[in-house]
Amino acid sequence: MVDVKVVFDMLAYSGVIALLSLGITLAYITTRVFNFAHPRIANVGAYAAAASMALYVDLVRDEGIGRFKVSLGPLEVTGLVAPDVLAVGIVFAVIAGIITALAEYYLVLRPLIERGADFLKLMIATLAFDFFVIATLFILGTHISVKELVSGVFGRETTSLSLHAFDARIDLAVLGYKLRGIMLFSFLGSLAIALMLYILLFKTKLGVKMRASIENPSLAEVLGINVQQVYTIAWIISGATAGFAGFLILFMGDIVKPVTASSPADEIIVSAFAGSIVGGVNSVFGSIGGGFIIGAVEILISSVITDVTGIDVTRYNKMLSMLAVALTLLFAPQGLAALYSEKIQARLPRLRGG
């Protein structure tokens, strides 16, 4: 029998993986190269969230980080950080993610693409940008101690930049079970973003232009669509989702390994690339689905294997996600989304004939 906590851990973890996989896929669609600096965008988002919340509490709020308690029938939510403080963290994490992503695209990748740089040069450029951001964060961490600032405001319970001790608690009286807020917030947040993307892509004129530019940029340009503008929007979404994922990672300490001051997203990025590949590097919604598949493989499947065999494989769960990638590349090189699309296309003639 699978523990309920494992299921909710999986949902929380999968939500973050899906957000990061989505950003990687959007960057790939517009540049045809994997963005190896993507985890650093989440790092920047995490730093921005932690620093902005600490500054907001220190400079604006008089009553500290605040707490709240909400009862909704049998469900009771106890917040260990006030909603306005969390909102400040989310906003600054998203803004920081967008700025970093646009800087990478316009200052590094776009000039190289215009000069005809090939796949290898672009890939190396993303690695170079990754190291540049690492160095920048290190310099900022040396001269402006975000860790000390956060610890000073949130108290001694904070370790490094992790705020998992301050996650909200959700008391499910009906089930006799208590959840951490991140478990629902991450899952519901990723679903909300997927829904907004669906509305944007399939229910708006901008979405039609985006799909046309993604599927056939040359034809889209002939039709008068500003492809460059569409790509900019794609990188804004990529940076925003990475920044939001960075905010979530701050509260996920005991779901994955405790985050560190130097690289909160490093432990997760392998899984994010795996989610993008398994779902399909050319499919926006496939990457979200791939993120949830990888989350299930690393949390749920590894837990089941551990229970059945008695061998603790949860600490080696990245091996399972790499196995999922290998199987995908072997049997469905374009990802599961492409496989699903092919099946739908194969059934259309029969559906029309019937």
Distance separating alpha carbons of residues 101 and 91, to the nearest angstrom: 15
Distance separating alpha carbons of residues 47 and 126, to the nearest angstrom: 20
CA–CA distance from 25 to each of 112, 214, 257 (Å)?
20, 11, 25
CATH of the domain at 205: 1.10.3470
Question: What residues contact 17, with CB distance under 8 A and at least 6 apart?
Answer: 268, 271, 272, 275, 291, 292, 294, 295
Q: With CA atoms as reference, report the closest residue to 237 among 49, 101, 47.
A: 101
Return the pLDDT at 348: 55
Domain-embedded: residue 339: no
Question: What residues contact 132, with CB distance under 8 A and at least 6 apart?
Answer: none
Domain-embedded: residue 245: yes
CB 305 within 8 A of CB 315: no
> What is the pTM for the complete model shown?
0.87
Instruction: Mark the ranges of the chain whose per-residue pLDDT is less than 50.
Output: 257-262, 264
- Name the domain count of the chain: 1
- 218-249 residue pLDDT tens: 778 887 888 888 889 999 999 999 999 999 98
Residues in the chain: 354
Residue with tokens 């496939």: 286
Residue with tokens 């398994």: 278
What is the distance, to the nearest Å, from the Cα of residue 148 to the centroid of all Cα atoms in its chain? 26
Range of the domain at 199: 4-261
Return the pLDDT at 93: 95
Domain-embedded: residue 334: no
Return the pLDDT at 128: 94
Question: What residues contact 195, with CB distance under 8 A and at least 6 apart?
Answer: none
**Cα angle 71, 76, 81; round to 5:** 95
Return the pLDDT at 342: 66
Return the pLDDT at 107: 95
Domain-embedded: residue 241: yes
Residue with tokens 């790509």: 231
List for the chain the helix, strand, coil content (%; round to 5): 75, 5, 20
Beta bridge pairs of residue 178: 171
Return the pLDDT at 245: 92
Distance separating alpha carbons of residues 297 and 321, to the nearest angstrom: 6
Question: What residues contact 214, with CB distance under 8 A and at least 6 apart?
Answer: 29, 30, 230, 234
Domain-embedded: residue 354: no
Return the pLDDT at 198: 85
Domain-embedded: residue 343: no
3-state secondary structure of 78: strand
Return the pLDDT at 224: 81
- 68-101 residue pLDDT tens: 888 877 778 888 888 899 999 999 999 999 999 9
- 108-147 residue pLDDT tens: 999 999 998 888 899 999 999 999 998 888 777 666 666 6
Domain-embedded: residue 106: yes
Phi (first) and psi of residue 68, to 5 degrees: -150, 160
Return the pLDDT at 352: 55
Give the tokens for residue 130.
Answer: 């990754």
What sign for the dihedral angle of Cα 28, 33, 38, 41?
negative
3-state secondary structure of 179: strand
Domain-embedded: residue 130: yes
